[in-house]
């Protein structure tokens, strides 16, 4: 393990999480101005066998995947192969059915296209057939007028963008990540893991019923100054609606999160079918160092031109989220600081994952951060452990 003395408080927070029993196994990595200044790991990768978490232990990072998929698409934009302002149907004609002909790629990237759920249950037999799942979405009508509102497309985001990428390149998101991002940069990051990686992937331990971490639970200073709630102004109506939705299997939130249903497989996200499938919204397996390394390369201009990244980080939507209930904010596929992406700095961007994983970049401060763990928090977006660690990084600057 390695921790630059300047970031000693980060190591203290990381170790305290284990001492106090908050972590099972976890890893945290930070690059500052291109230098790996924090590379920590500890704990147990598999509580059943006692297998230790090693330097190269990866973990399933759920929606942290979305930022990688967005980057794959934006690389195609830079090559002139797609246009985010153009209709999705230009690349995928079947998508234009049922009133979807004018939906743009930008609306998909910003969760505005009105397709947050798959209406029919996806059978297990289709879990590795992304084209078949995408065809189901092509046959649906939007749940709201595209562009009139936004709501988190927890899983459908990836099937929609993945199909556009496949139509344009003839290649899957996972294959492009391996060939153009992870492979050339030497990153321990896979969107669709091979068998030898699956064998050493940490096994997740399920948390309680998912809910949303709110700003009232975050460490002091976490969350953007303009949107962080306090005990006096927390959005009670949104929290109450969210709590009701969590208990309702037919709520938009549960339908968005639960189909395709990972729970249908023994072990859920630990099952090889899920780890191998490479769903472009929630299918990445990565070490913390690999995830941080992706953001290091992104802010260094190695994956996207500076102008492309600046435009991608421009907040397109911000406010009440039809699926998450609390305020969310998105650029082109990247989360921006909001109640559902609590960050100490307005210049931070990235994506969190179900249960608590975090990938983060901050070009102004030269920061790139990755956090993965296997003890799932009962939060759909955010994790107190990860937020504490990120806060410690910023306080160390």
pLDDT tens column, 181-238:
999 999 999 999 999 999 999 999 986 444 433 333 444 444 433 333 323 344 567 7
pLDDT band (50, 70, 90) for residue 380 = low
pLDDT score, position 118: 98
pLDDT band (50, 70, 90) for residue 377 = confident
Phi, psi of 331 (to 5 degrees): -90, -145
Q: Give the CATH number, domain containing residue 297.
A: 3.40.710.10
* Spatial distance between the Cα atoms of 100 and 138, rounded to a whole number of angstroms: 8
pLDDT band (50, 70, 90) for residue 8 = very high
Burial per residue of 234-244, b for 16 or more beta-carbon CB atoms within 10 angstroms, e otherwise? bbeebbebbee
- What domain range includes position 157? 2-396
* Spatial distance between the Cα atoms of 126 and 247, rounded to a whole number of angstroms: 27
Query: How confident is the model over 9-45, as pLDDT tens digits?
Result: 999 999 999 999 999 999 999 999 999 999 999 999 9
CB burial of residue 141 (10 Å; 0-12, 13-18, 19+): exposed
pLDDT score, position 379: 61
* Spatial distance between the Cα atoms of 169 and 280, rounded to a whole number of angstroms: 15
Length of the chain measured in residues: 397
Has residue 256 got a pLDDT over 80?
yes
pLDDT score, position 291: 98
pLDDT score, position 224: 39
Residues 362-373, mean pLDDT to the nearest whole number? 98
Check: CB of residue 202 under 8 Å from CB of residue 58.
yes
* Spatial distance between the Cα atoms of 204 and 207, rounded to a whole number of angstroms: 9
63 is catalytic: yes
Has residue 68 got a pLDDT over 70?
yes
Check: CB of residue 104 under 8 Å from CB of residue 87.
yes
pLDDT band (50, 70, 90) for residue 381 = low
pLDDT score, position 378: 73
Q: Which one of 8, 63, 226, 251 is the catalytic residue?
A: 63
366: CB partners within 8 A, 6+ apart: 31, 32, 33, 34, 299
Number of domains present in the structure of the chain: 1
Mean pLDDT, rounded, of the chain = 92
pLDDT score, position 36: 98
Copy the structure tokens of residue 237: 């109506």
**Maximum Cα interatomic distance, the chain, rounded to a whole number of Å:** 58
C-beta contacts of 99-108 below 8 A and 24+ residues apart: 99/141, 99/142, 100/138, 100/141, 100/142, 100/146, 102/146, 103/142, 103/146, 105/73, 105/161, 105/164, 106/316, 106/332, 107/146, 107/147, 108/153, 108/157, 108/160, 108/161, 108/164
Burial per residue of 262-277, b for 16 or more beta-carbon CB atoms within 10 angstroms, e otherwise? bebbeeebbbeebbbb
Query: How confident is the model over 56-67, as pLDDT tens digits?
Result: 999 999 999 999
């Amino acid at each position: 393990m390695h921790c630059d003395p300047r970031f000693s408080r980060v190591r203290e927070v990381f170790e305290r999480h284990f001492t106090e029993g908050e972590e099972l196994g976890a890893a945290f990595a930070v690059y500052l101005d291109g230098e790996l200044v924090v590379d920590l790991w500890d704990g147990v990768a598999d509580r059943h066998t006692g297998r230790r978490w090693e330097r190269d232990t990866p973990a399933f990072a759920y929606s942290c995947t979305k930022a990688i998929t967005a980057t794959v698409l934006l690389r195609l934009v830079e090559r002139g192969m797609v246009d985010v302002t153009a209709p999705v149907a230009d690349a995928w004609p079947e998508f234009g059915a049922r009133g979807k002909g004018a939906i743009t790629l930008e609306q998909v990237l910003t969760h505005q296209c009105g397709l947050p759920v798959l209406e029919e249950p996806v059978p297990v037999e289709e879990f590795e057939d992304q084209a078949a799942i995408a065809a189901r979405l092509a046959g649906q009508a939007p749940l709201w007028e595209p562009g009139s509102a936004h709501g988190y497309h927890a899983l459908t985001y990836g099937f929609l963008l993945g199909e556009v990428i496949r139509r344009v390149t003839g290649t899957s998101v996972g294959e492009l990540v391996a060939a153009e991002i992870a492979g050339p940069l030497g990153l321990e990051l896979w969107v669709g893991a091979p068998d030898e990686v699956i064998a050493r992937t940490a096994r997740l331990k399920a948390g309680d019923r998912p809910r949303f971490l709110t700003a009232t639970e975050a460490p002091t200073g976490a969350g953007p100054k303009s949107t962080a709630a306090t005990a006096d102004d927390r959005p009670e109506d949104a929290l109450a609606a969210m709590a009701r939705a969590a208990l309702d299997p037919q709520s938009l939130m549960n339908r968005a999160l639960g189909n395709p249903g990972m729970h249908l497989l023994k072990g859920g996200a630990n099952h090889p079918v899920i780890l191998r499938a490479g769903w472009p919204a929630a299918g990445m397996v990565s070490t913390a160092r690999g995830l941080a390394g992706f953001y290091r390369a992104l802010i260094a201009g190695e994956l996207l031109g500076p102008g492309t990244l600046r435009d991608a980080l421009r907040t397109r939507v911000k406010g009440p989220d039809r699926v998450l209930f609390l305020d969310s904010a998105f650029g082109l596929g990247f989360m921006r600081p909001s109640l559902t992406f609590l960050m100490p700095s307005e210049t931070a961007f990235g994506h969190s994952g179900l249960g608590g994983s975090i990938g983060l970049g901050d070009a102004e401060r030269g920061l790139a951060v990755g956090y993965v763990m296997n003890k799932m928090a009962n939060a759909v977006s955010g994790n107190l452990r990860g937020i504490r660690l990120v806060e410690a990084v910023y306080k160390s600057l």
